[in-house]
Amino acid sequence: MLSHRGWGKSPGNKCPHPELRSLRSLNSLALRSPPQQVAEEVEGSCAYDDESSGRAKGKLLLRGRNLPSCKSNNTRSRGTLMTGTRLAGRRAIITGAASGIGAACADLFAQEGAIVLAVDLETAFAQARANCNAAARGVHLLAKSVADSDAPEKIIAEALSVCGGVDILMNNAGIGTNALAEQMSDDVWQRTMDINVTAQFRLCRAAIPHLKESKAGRIINVASVMAEGTDYGLAAYCASKAGVAGLTRTLALELGKFGITANYILPGAISTGMTRPLWDARPEIRDVWAKKSPLRRVGEPIDIARGALFLASDDGGFVTGHGLNVDGGLMLRV
């Protein structure tokens, strides 16, 4: 099982999220806000360089500070960690990549030969570091909130600096919020919009000139099955995810002539930092969602990563404007 705290396999991790409570719905289950969102967001960048770079020699670098290196038994260089070539040489930005779906995508894309810039909050990377494995080597880390006003500029500049360009933009960072519409504050509504959809739009806009220079530009935005469904308390979340769908379809229309595809993924109930705390505390709730799927299980981050890999690779080259449900059939029944 992929850990929401780390870069790879770390069974037995216990999530530190303290604010669990009983929730009624998939969204309630899936979309609890991680503690990172309310933690102090500190700008900085760090990169875990491989031996060949001569820069880091096994140290995580965070703007001049040396951090403990990732524990790993695997001392091979990034090149030998590759298990495939479906993204060989592609330069990818993945946001929300310290945890869950984003971390799985960063791992898989790197294993398939991509040069990855993983963006997340510094607090999220700090939680992930203790568990990061060798797959993270060669994945560059940028600690940055996607909601910062200067985020697009900083993220693109870092991608150009460490990756040399942008071929793939995966907007994955997101938060869950839950409040009945009648009681929802402007702040909760706005924060949900800022992180879940406005940040995606702003980063797409900044990346477009660089994607135009790519031979196979790709935009992959992470929405949710709640772009199409809903439940109590999800006015802001559903609106933000429906916004992701509309944004992405329009980007597909506008950017097709430049050879850029734009697609969005609709994950179902996936075991990640958003869901695992509750599911660990109340396994019966996880079981409810597993039974809703014809496949009789909840999803793992790697399930979404494989869908993202399809869209990012040449395999998905003629797919654009598409919403890819990766939900184990969760939404089949009405």
Ligand X SMILES: NC(=O)c1ccc[n+]([C@@H]2O[C@H](COP(=O)([O-])OP(=O)(O)OC[C@H]3O[C@@H](n4cnc5c(N)ncnc54)[C@H](O)[C@@H]3O)[C@@H](O)[C@H]2O)c1
Q: Looking at 8-16, 80-88, 90-98, 250-258, which segment touches ligand X (CB under 6 A)?
A: 90-98
Which strands sit side by side in the sheet containing 261-267, from one edge to the other?
65-67, 60-62, 44-48, 139-143, 115-120, 91-95, 168-171, 218-222, 261-267, 323-326
Q: Does 23 bind ligand X (CB under 6 A)?
A: no
Q: Does 4 bind ligand X (CB under 6 A)?
A: yes
| Beta carbon nearer to ligand X, 13 or 72 | 13
Q: Does 175 bind ligand X (CB under 6 A)?
A: yes
Q: Does 45 bind ligand X (CB under 6 A)?
A: no
Residue 95 Cβ, how far from ligand X at the closest point, in Å? 6
Give the DSSP letter string of 19-64.
------SHHHHH-PPPGGGGSPP--EEEEE--GGGSS-TT-EEETT
Q: Does 132 bind ligand X (CB under 6 A)?
A: no
User: Which of 34, 113, 217, 243 contacts ligand X by CB under 6 A?
Assistant: 34
Q: Does 121 bind ligand X (CB under 6 A)?
A: yes
Q: Does 222 bind ligand X (CB under 6 A)?
A: yes
Residue pointed to by tokens 């660089």: 210
User: Which of 3, 28, 145, 263 contacts ligand X by CB under 6 A?
Assistant: 145
Q: How many residues bind ligand X (CB under 6 A)?
A: 32
Nearest to 139 by CA among 127, 121, 125: 125
Q: Count CB atoms within 10 A of the CB of residue 150.
A: 11
User: Which of 15, 47, 94, 101 contacts ligand X by CB under 6 A?
Assistant: 101
Dihedral through CA 208, CA 212, CA 216, CA 219, nearest 10?
10
| Beta carbon nearer to ligand X, 82 or 251 | 251
Residue 330 Cβ, how far from ligand X at the closest point, in Å? 10
Instruction: Based on the residue annotation, tell me whether 48 is a catalytic residue of this protein.
Output: no
Residue 73 Cβ, how far from ligand X at the closest point, in Å? 25
Q: Which of 48, 232, 237, 264 is catalytic?
A: 237
φ/ψ bin of 146: left (φ > 0), alpha (ψ from -120 to 50), beta (otherwise): alpha
Separation CA 224–CA 244 (nearest Å): 9
Q: Does 275 bind ligand X (CB under 6 A)?
A: yes
Residue 308 Cβ, how far from ligand X at the closest point, in Å? 11
Residue 75 Cβ, how far from ligand X at the closest point, in Å? 27
Residue 70 is classified by DSSP as: P
Contact present, 140 and 60 (Cβ < 8 Å): no
| Beta carbon nearer to ligand X, 111 or 200 | 200
Longest dimension (CA), the chain: 57
> Residue 13 has which token pair?
């991790």
Q: Does 269 bind ligand X (CB under 6 A)?
A: yes
Q: Count CB atoms within 10 A of the CB of residue 57.
A: 10
Contact present, 260 and 209 (Cβ < 8 Å): no
Q: Does 272 bind ligand X (CB under 6 A)?
A: yes
Stretch 184-203 residues interacting with ligand X (CB under 6 A): 195
Cα 256 → chain centroid: 24
Q: Which residues are catalytic?
A: 237
Q: Which residues bind ligand X (CB under 6 A)?
A: 4, 30, 34, 36-37, 95-96, 98-102, 120-121, 124, 145-147, 172-175, 195, 222, 224, 267, 269-270, 272-275
